[in-house]
A and B are shown apart, each in its own frame.
Chain A
Amino acid sequence: MSPNAPPPLPSGIVAFVKRDCPTCELVAPVLAELASQVNLTVYSQDDPTFPEGVAVQDDTDLATSWHCKIEAVPTLLAVEKGVEQGRAVGWHREEWQALAGVSDLGAGLPDYRPGCGSLSVDPARQAELVVRFSGSKLRARRVHLAGLEDEAEALFNRGWTDGLPVVAPTEARVLAMLEGTSRTPEELVAVVPPDLVDCTVEKVAINAVLAGCKPEYLPVILAAVEAVCTDEFNIHGVIATTMPVAPVVVVNGPIRRAIGMNSGINVFGQGNRANSTIGRALQLVIRNVGGGRPGGVDRATFGSPAKLSFCFPEDEERSPWGPLSADFGAKPGTNTVTAYCGEAPRSTVDQLSRNPESLARSLAANIRTVHHPKLCIAFDCMLAVGPEHARVFQEVGWSKEQLRDKLSELLQVPGEEAIRGAGGIEEGLPEALRNATLPKLRPGGLHIVHCGGGAGLFSAIIGGWLAGSNGSQPVVREIQA
């Protein structure tokens, strides 16, 4: 019999007890009374000789207790044809009498006594029990690390890490991770490039353990994996390119705060577990499941620290504007990830502009330099407006659309500045565009988010990659519980 399958329950009344429980000791005579009147089966969790005077089933392996989800002892079940019809937890005379259809039980006992914790939910044994009774639902290959192998070294040696230490994905940890989603382990999440491999919820959970995630992060990671493994996002190209880009995951909705993400001080930096490990888990899925490794399909000339992990939430609470996800049609208040292909962030300092026109000019001047000041149309850009800069726009009531329109207007590049040879620089656009006016960014390619610490008149720009259907387009996915 598979340990996943619940043992068959006998019909009649079924009791779960342990000797190490004063309430069970108290009701031992009641069980003897019941045995003479109904079809009674008693399961003992710690001592098959307890209680005396009735036939006892040995449940010291806790299999029956586990599968019946017993939380306290004594627990009394009424069972018909193997199916539970009702239960009473602890000693409660009226409930026991109703369940067993017997009157005058336990004369001389108090009406009610709470029970003790069931051994099947003992925290000290939980991990072992979960593996024993649920482990077989995991399909991944089991890898036995030898006793003399250092665990951390063994995981490096197998090529499973991004260069930083990882958490060993034991069965207990993976099962605990899977508690973070209602999706089943074998459910297909995505076909992951570059190897185009079917990736299940279980494989994502294993990599989430490696990355150091908590179970409540798993739904965000699953949505991020789905988002990047689309033709629109084109993770194959994002991995393979020589350019220094990575999937940037922006989280919107109440889940940001529920799982403790940081949208404030040091938002793109270290120190917040959710920010750091969600992005890392996505990268480990790409590496381990998709097979996208540096020097293999990953041909980046420089790469970027963002390729270890780049995930952050928007600061929606203090933002003068709606969330990024709403710009892609998501209903505000829904939990989403937006996957965007971007470089590492770069600072834009402007500590003097107090009117929006001036500040917009500062931001545009820096956006103009994305990849090269003379290259146009090909790229998207994400603009992370810091709270002190956002205040400049908020005070005069500029909407996000107004800012975007103004920046688009300021980012029209005269062809004569952008063509090859202009400014004494050979790089540039074909001579034929000399008399044209060219938008720096792809139309619709400026994505504005609000985040960062409360002090500092700064914003950040995250340059994109080849934009549109020939490169990578931002993809929004709703996060499923």
Chain B
Amino acid sequence: MSGTVIVLDPTNEQQSEARERQPRLASLEGRTIGLLDISKPRGDVFLDRIEQKLRERGAEVIRYAKPTFTKPAPIDLRQQIAVECDAVVEALAD
């Protein structure tokens, strides 16, 4: 006996990849900002105000919504946002 016990790893044996953050936008002027409503009640109230503030600073705003807050955003929606926007604000509200 070597005195050691060998056990099998019960986890997924995966490590998440470290990724560089996107550089911060130098200015909002002329940029397209996505606003993602996760579909919690009154999230729209919060996002309406954010949209108003962003437009005052010269940004274009596109609004999106998840079909339900209980599930992750569908991949098509995530890709659409990535293609159409320079940055995204995801809002949680209740």
Contacts and interface: CB of A to CB of B under 8 A. Distances in A.
Interface string A235-256: 0110011000000000000000
Contact of A141 (B13, B68, B71): B13
Interface centre among B9, B10, B12, B71 (most CB of A within 10 A): B10
Nearest to A237: B70
A434 to B, nearest CB: 19
A370 interface: no
B6 A289 contact: no
A197 interface: yes
Interface in B24-77: 67-68, 70-72
Contact of A466 (B4, B9, B70): B70
B72 to A, nearest CB: 6
A170 B71 CA distance: 36
Nearest to A131: B6
A291 B7 CA distance: 19
A59 interface: no
A146 B70 contact: no
Contacts of A289: 10-12
Contact of A147 (B2, B11, B67): B2
Given A234-B70, A234-B71, A236-B72, A174 B12 contact: no
B70 A143 contact: no
B10 A206 contact: yes
Given A195-B14, A470-B68, A141 B5 contact: no
Contact of B6 (A170, A231, A466): A170
B71 A236 contact: yes
A145 B3 CA distance: 9
B18 interface: no
B83 interface: no
Given A146-B4, A195-B14, A471 B68 contact: yes
A288 interface: yes
Contacts of B12: 192, 195, 197, 199, 203, 288-291
Given A140-B13, A141-B13, A195-B14, A155 B7 contact: yes
Q: How large is the interface on A (under 10, 10 to 19, 20 to 34, 35 or more residues)?
A: 35 or more
Nearest to A466: B70
A472 B71 CA distance: 10
Contact of A171 (B8, B10, B14): B8
A237 B13 contact: no
Contacts of B71: 231, 234, 236-237
B4 A140 contact: no
B5 A140 contact: no
B5 A151 contact: yes
A151 B5 CA distance: 8
A160 interface: yes
B9 A168 contact: no
B76 to A, nearest CB: 15
A207 B70 contact: no
A142 B2 contact: no
A138 interface: yes
Contacts of B70: 234, 236-237, 240-241, 466, 470-472
A125 interface: no
Contact of A140 (B3, B9, B14): B9
Nearest to B1: A147
27 contacts: A138-B8, A140-B10, A140-B13, A142-B8, A147-B3, A155-B7, A168-B7, A169-B10, A195-B14, A197-B12, A197-B14, A203-B12, A206-B9, A207-B10, A210-B10, A231-B71, A236-B70, A237-B70, A237-B71, A240-B70, A284-B10, A288-B11, A288-B12, A290-B12, A470-B67, A471-B68, A472-B70
Given A168-B5, A203-B10, A466-B70, 5 more contacts: A143-B9, A147-B4, A203-B12, A289-B11, A471-B70
Interface of A: 138, 140-147, 151, 155, 160, 168-171, 174, 192, 194-195, 197, 199, 202-203, 206-207, 210, 231, 234, 236-237, 240-241, 284, 288-291, 466, 469-472
In order of increasing CB-CB distance, the 3 nearest A-B pairs are: A147-B3, A237-B70, A141-B9
